[in-house]
C-alpha cells in the first residue's frame, strides 16, 4: 500500500512537479533550524509511504519494511531504522507522551509506549531523505527466527544497508537513526564496514549487553528482559532462535536448564522458574539464552562491539536517569571510537515517545555527513552535558572533564562521609541481608558550605566481610536536600564473586571486571571490593549533602527513573554483611569534583555552635 502525505509548509504552494513544494525565500526557513552561517535541509517534499516492502536476504529470507520517501524521481540519501518491534507502532501518528509511573509499574499487564524508538520518518522524508523502518529477521512480518543482536541479525542489517544503496531512489549514501535497540544495532553493523554506511546517530545505546543491561556488575537484572519480552516482544510477534540449544545440543541444554533451576536465588523468583520450566514457550527462548550464560564467554563476545573496526562518524549519548541501562554505553563509545564523534548526555528524563526531541540535531548531523552540507556541527565542542541541580549545560573537549579532581570521601562511624582520613580505633558497621530483612547502610557528608559540583565516573572502595559465600552489592549515590529528602543520582553493582579486574580496561576511577568466572567468598574473611558506579553530574547547593547507600538489594522505586535501575536478583540466603572503615581497611567513595569544595567539608557544617 502506498500513501501520499503533504508537507505542512505554511504559505508555500504545492506545485505537484516531481512532488516538490515550491517555496519562496522565507518559506525555505520554515520547519527548520539555522544559524547565522549554517542551515539544514528545508521541509519541502511530499511524502510517499510504501508498507510491507520486502527486502531479500542471500539465504532467501525476506525482511519486511516500511519505506518513507520524498515523492520525487530524484535520488536521495537514505536512513535506516532496524528493530524487533511492532512496525506500525513505530511510525503511526501517536501523540508523544512521557512514560508514566503507572505504566512502568504495570509492565507485563499493559503496554507502554516505551519501545517507540524510530522517530518520525515523515520529518526526514519531507527534508529530502528516504527513511526505511525494517523489522529484523523473526520479528513482525519478516521471515525466519529472531537472532537478538547475534551475528545473523548483524549480517542481515548489512544486507539491508547495501540493498537500500542500490535502489533507484537512493544516491548511495546511507545513515542510521534511532535510540535503544535502533541505536545498539548501529554500532554492531558498523563493525562490518558496509561500503554505503556513512554516519550513525545512535544515542541511548547500551553497548555491552552483559554489563549494561542483563548482568550489571555480574548480578542478574532479570526484571528488564522478563518485562520487555512479555510486552514489547510479544506484541511484535518475535519468534526467538534458541542459541543455547543450537550451541550445546539437546542433552546438554536440558542439563543446563536443570542446573539453573537448582540455583536458590533463581528459584526464589517465580517468573524465572516458569520460564526455565517452559523454555520453548513463546518468547521464552530469548530469556533462557540470557539465564544460561551468567558469565562472560563466547555467547557475549560475538555480541560485543569492536570499536577499532568502526570507521564512520558517530553521535553518542544518553541521559543521566538511565544509569541502569544505556548510560554506560555513551561513555564507552566516546572513549573507544576513533572516528569523528559527538556525545550528548541530557536531563534525567527518558525521551518522550514517539521520539522527537533529537530530530533537528540528527538532521544537522546527517546533512553534514550524507549531503555534504557544512552545518558547522563539528565546530561545537564535542561533549555536551546537562548538569543536574544547576539545570544548565556544560560543554567540553574531553571526558572525564579536564578540571576533575578525584577526591576520596571516607566512610566513618555514625554514618559520616568525609575527606578526613580514619582516626585510631575506628571500626565497622553491619547489616542483615535476607528475604525477611534487606538491610542497608547510609553514609552522608555534613551540609556543604558552598556549591559543589561533581561530574564524572564514581567508584566505591569497600573492605567487607559476609557470613555468606557471596554478596550482591547494590550501591546508590544520593543528593540529600536540607529537609532530608533525597534524590537518587546513580547506582553501581557488583557480585562479590565477580571481583576479578580486567586490568587492560580498568582505570583508577573506573574498575572493569572480567566476569569470566565466579570466585566464591570465604565466610568471615575480609575482602577488598572496588565497585564501579555509573557516571553522573550534579551541582549541590549549599546545605545539601552527598550520600551513599550500601545494600544487597534494590530500594523500592519511587518514580520511573528509579525503576530503570532496579530489578536485580537478590540473595536467598540469610547473611550478615560487615563494612570496615578504619586505618587498616579505609573504605572510601571516590568522587569527581569539578567545582567548589575548595577547603573540603566541615564536620560542623561550617556553622558556629548555637549559643546555649
Q: Please state, in angstroms and rounded to a whole number, the distance separating the CA atoms of residues 547 and 444.
A: 4
Average predicted confidence (pLDDT) for the chain: 91
> What integer pLDDT is reported at residue 102 of this predicted model?
52
pLDDT digits (tens, 9 = 90+) for 581-590: 999 999 999 9
Q: State which H helix or E strand residue 471 sits in.
A: none
pLDDT digits (tens, 9 = 90+) for 127-139: 999 999 999 999 9
CA 259 to chain CA centroid, nearest Å: 31
- The mean per-residue pLDDT over the stretch 305-327 comes to 96
Segment among 222-236, 290-304, 425-439, 469-483 with least mean pLDDT: 222-236
With cut-offs at 50, 70 and 90, classify the pLDDT of residue 13.
very low
* Cβ proximity of 576 and 430 under 8 Å: yes
- The mean per-residue pLDDT over the stretch 228-238 comes to 84
> What integer pLDDT is reported at residue 110 of this predicted model?
47
> What integer pLDDT is reported at residue 10 of this predicted model?
33
302: Cβ–Cβ under 8 A, 6 or more apart, which residues?
Answer: 150, 151
CATH H-level superfamily of 405-595:
Galactose-binding domain-like (2.60.120.260)
Q: Please state, in angstroms and rounded to a whole number, the distance separating the CA atoms of residues 397 and 443.
A: 34
* Cβ proximity of 12 and 22 under 8 Å: yes
Q: State which H helix or E strand residue 31 sits in.
A: none
Rounded to two decimals, what is the model's pTM?
A: 0.92
pLDDT score of 109 more than 50:
no
Rounded (10°) angle between helices 151-165 and 181-190: 80
pLDDT score of 459 more than 80:
yes
pLDDT score of 28 more than 80:
no
CATH class as words, domain 2-207+305-380: alpha beta
- Provide the phi-psi class of 576: left if phi over 0, else alpha when psi is between -120 and 50, else beta: beta
> What integer pLDDT is reported at residue 9 of this predicted model?
35
> What integer pLDDT is reported at residue 562 of this predicted model?
81
pLDDT digits (tens, 9 = 90+) for 435-455: 999 999 999 999 999 999 999
102: Cβ–Cβ under 8 A, 6 or more apart, which residues?
Answer: none
The C-alpha cell of 501 is what? 579486574
> What integer pLDDT is reported at residue 100 of this predicted model?
53
> What integer pLDDT is reported at residue 114 of this predicted model?
66
Q: For the chain, first and last CA: distance in Å? A: 83
- The mean per-residue pLDDT over the stretch 322-345 comes to 97
pLDDT digits (tens, 9 = 90+) for 357-393: 899 999 999 999 999 999 999 999 999 999 999 999 9
> What integer pLDDT is reported at residue 529 of this predicted model?
98
> What integer pLDDT is reported at residue 231 of this predicted model?
79
What is the location of CATH 2.60.120.260 in the chain? 405-595
Identify the bridge partners of residue 437 per DSSP, sorted by sequence position: 434
* Cβ proximity of 366 and 201 under 8 Å: yes
**3-state SS string for 365-394:** HHHHHHCCCCCCHHHCCCEEEEEECCCEEE
> What integer pLDDT is reported at residue 24 of this predicted model?
60
With cut-offs at 50, 70 and 90, classify the pLDDT of residue 228.
confident
- The mean per-residue pLDDT over the stretch 225-231 comes to 86
What is the location of CATH 3.40.50.1820 in the chain? 2-207+305-380
**Pairing between β-strand 341-346 and β-strand 314-319 as defined by DSSP bridges:** parallel
Cα angle 543-547-550, degrees, rounded to a multiple of 5? 165
Amino acid at each position: 500500500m502506498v500513501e501520499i502525505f503533504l508537507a505542512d509548509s505554511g504559505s508555500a504552494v504545492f506545485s505537484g512537479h516531481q512532488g516538490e513544494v515550491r517555496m519562496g525565500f522565507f518559506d525555505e526557513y520554515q520547519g527548520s533550524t539555522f544559524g547565522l552561517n549554517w542551515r539544514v535541509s528545508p521541509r519541502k517534499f511530499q511524502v510517499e509511504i510504501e508498507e510491507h516492502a520486502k527486502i531479500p536476504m542471500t539465504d532467501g529470507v525476506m525482511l519486511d519494511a516500511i519505506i518513507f520517501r520524498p515523492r520525487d524521481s530524484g535520488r536521495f540519501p537514505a536512513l535506516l531504522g532496524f528493530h524487533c518491534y511492532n512496525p506500525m507502532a513505530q511510525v503511526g501518528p501517536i501523540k508523544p507522551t512521557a512514560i508514566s509511573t503507572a505504566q512502568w509499574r504495570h509492565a507485563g499487564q499493559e503496554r507502554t509506549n516505551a519501545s517507540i524508538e524510530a522517530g518520525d520518518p515523515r520529518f526526514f522524508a519531507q527534508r529530502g531523505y528516504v527513511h526505511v523502518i525494517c523489522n529484523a529477521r523473526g520479528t513482525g512480518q519478516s521471515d525466519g527466527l529472531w537472532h537478538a543482536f547475534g551475528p545473523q541479525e548483524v549480517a542481515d542489517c548489512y544486507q539491508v544497508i547495501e540493498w537500500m544503496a542500490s535502489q533507484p531512489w537512493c544516491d548511495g549514501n546511507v545513515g542510521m537513526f534511532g535510540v535503544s535497540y535502533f541505536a545498539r544495532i548501529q554500532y554492531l553493523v558498523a563493525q562490518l564496514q558496509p561500503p554505503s554506511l556513512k554516519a550513525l546517530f545512535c544515542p541511548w545505546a547500551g553497548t555491552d549487553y552483559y554489563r549494561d543491561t542483563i548482568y550489571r556488575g555480574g548480578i542478574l537484572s532479570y526484571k528488564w528482559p522478563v518485562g520487555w519480552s512479555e510486552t514489547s516482544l510479544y506484541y511484535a510477534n518475535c519468534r526467538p532462535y534458541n542459541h543455547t540449544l543450537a550451541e550445546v545440543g539437546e542433552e546438554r541444554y536440558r542439563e543446563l536448564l536443570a542446573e539453573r533451576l537448582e540455583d536458590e536465588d533463581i528459584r526464589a523468583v517465580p517468573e524465572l522458574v516458569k520460564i526455565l520450566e517452559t523454555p520453548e514457550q513463546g518468547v521464552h527462548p530469548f530469556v533462557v539464552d540470557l539465564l544460561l550464560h551468567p558469565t562472560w564467554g563466547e555467547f557475549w563476545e560475538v555480541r560485543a562491539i569492536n570499536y577499532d573496526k568502526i570507521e564512520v562518524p558517530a553521535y553518542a549519548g544518553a541521559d543521566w536517569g538511565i544509569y541502569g541501562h544505556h548510560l554506560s554505553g555513551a561513555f564507552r563509545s566516546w572513549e573507544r571510537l576513533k572516528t569523528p564523534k559527538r556525545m550528548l548526555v541530557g536531563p534525567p528524563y527518558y525521551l518522550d515517545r514517539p521520539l522527537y526531541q533529537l530530530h533537528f540535531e540528527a538532521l544537522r548531523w546527517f546533512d553534514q555527513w550524507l549531503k555534504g552540507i557544512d552545518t558547522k556541527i563539528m565546530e561545537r565542542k564535542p561533549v555536551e552535558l546537562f548538569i543536574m541541580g544547576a539545570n544548565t549545560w556544560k560543554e567540553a573537549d574531553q571526558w572525564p572533564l579536564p578540571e576533575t579532581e578525584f577526591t576520596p570521601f571516607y566512610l566513618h562511624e555514625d554514618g559520616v562521609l568525609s575527606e578526613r582520613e580514619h582516626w585510631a580505633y575506628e571500626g565497622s558497621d553491619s547489616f542483615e541481608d535476607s528475604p525477611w530483612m534487606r538491610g542497608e547502610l547510609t553514609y552522608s557528608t555534613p551540609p556543604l558550605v558552598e556549591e559543589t559540583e561533581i561530574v564524572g565516573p564514581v567508584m566505591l572502595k569497600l573492605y567487607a566481610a559476609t557470613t555468606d559465600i557471596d554478596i550482591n552489592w547494590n550501591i546508590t549515590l544520593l543528593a540529600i536536600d536540607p529537609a532530608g529528602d533525597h534524590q537518587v543520582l546513580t547506582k553501581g553493582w557488583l557480585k562479590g564473586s565477580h571481583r576479578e579486574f580486567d586490568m587492560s580496561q580498568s582505570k583508577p576511577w573506573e574498575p572493569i571486571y572480567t566476569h569470566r568466572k565466579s570466585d566464591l567468598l570465604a565466610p568471615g574473611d575480609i575482602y577488598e571490593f572496588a565497585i564501579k558506579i555509573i557516571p553522573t553530574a550534579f551541582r549541590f547547593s549549599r546545605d545539601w549533602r552527598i550520600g551513599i547507600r550500601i545494600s544487597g538489594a534494590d530500594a523500592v522505586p519511587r518514580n520511573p527513573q528509579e525503576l530503570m535501575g532496579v530489578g536485580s536478583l537478590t540473595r536467598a540466603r540469610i547473611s550478615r554483611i560487615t563494612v570496615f572503615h578504619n586505618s587498616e581497611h579505609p573504605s572510601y567513595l571516590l568522587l569527581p569534583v569539578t567545582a567548589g569544595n575548595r577547603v573540603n567539608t566541615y564536620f560542623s557544617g561550617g556553622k558556629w555552635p548555637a549559643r546555649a
